[in-house]
Amino acid sequence: MTKAPAPPPASAPIIVAIDGGAASGKSSTARALAARFGLLHVDTGSFYRQVCAKLMAQRIAPDQTEPIEAGLAAVTFSTQVVGNTAQLLIDGHAAGDDIRSEQVNTHVSHYAALPAVRAALLAYQRSQPEVARKHGFRGVVMEGRDIGSVIFPNADFRIFLHADQAARAARRAAEGRVDAVAERDRLDTSRKAAPLLCPPGAVDIDSTHLTLEEVVEKLSALIAQKLPPLSSC
């Protein structure tokens, strides 16, 4: 049977905010929810990775405040929608595979901790629900580390995913990726600008012993109270 068309987007796009540390399951969960509910998937971690890669390519270190501020003031951020995912374009250029490299993994938290970097991306991130509406999506599922606390503190759904460090390190190893999970946790939770935390009132889920499917089902039941899933027929 032909898949039923999606209903027209609501006037106010639904916002699902998912926060959590590295390898907590944010991306896989967000992608599954985006497909199930007709939402635009927005991976804000990739935005910070892209900015990190650009600054590193320009040989600008995290402690070089003035060059960072000048460099970010000179760039233009825009969005390219590929499938149901929002991709950041910096001066019209999309991210390359280098943003998932070991080098970027090592340094991204240092750049992401800088107030200048977070301020540069703030308005851009907040523009994504309107991007979703214009492209016919019902809203956004946005993942990151400060979505429910800073970017969209009044999101329709605020979710915090976490898992113990051993489980998260094992997940990265299974993906064939090198990622200093413990060190990134330390940097992300201790930074002064928008630290990683579970926002008050958010749905807190420990995914250590849950499968991806179990996490998705828990959150789908929650979201379906306000937004019915798309027909699977």
**Binding site membership for ATP: which residues?**
20-28
User: Residues forming the annotated binding site?
Assistant: 20-28
For residue 69, give every residue at least 6 positions away whose Cβ sits within 8 Å of its Cβ, in sequence order, or none.
116
> 């019915």: which residue's tokens?
228
CB 205 within 8 A of CB 161: yes
SS (H, E, C) the chain: CCCCCCCCCCCCCEEEEEEECCCCCHHHHHHHHHHHHCCEEEEHHHHHHHHHHHHHHCCCCCCCHHHHHHHHHCCCEEEEEECCEEEEEECCECCCHHHHCHHHHHHHHHHHCCHHHHHHHHHHHHCHHHHHHHCCCCEEEEEECCHHHHHCCCCCEEEEEECCHHHHHHHHHHCCCCCCHHHHHHHHHHCCCCCCCCCCCCEEEECCCCCHHHHHHHHHHHHCCCCCCCCCC
Size of the chain, expressed as the number of residues it contains: 233
Q: With 0-12 CB in 10 A as exposed, 13-18 as middle and 19+ as buried, what is 122?
A: middle
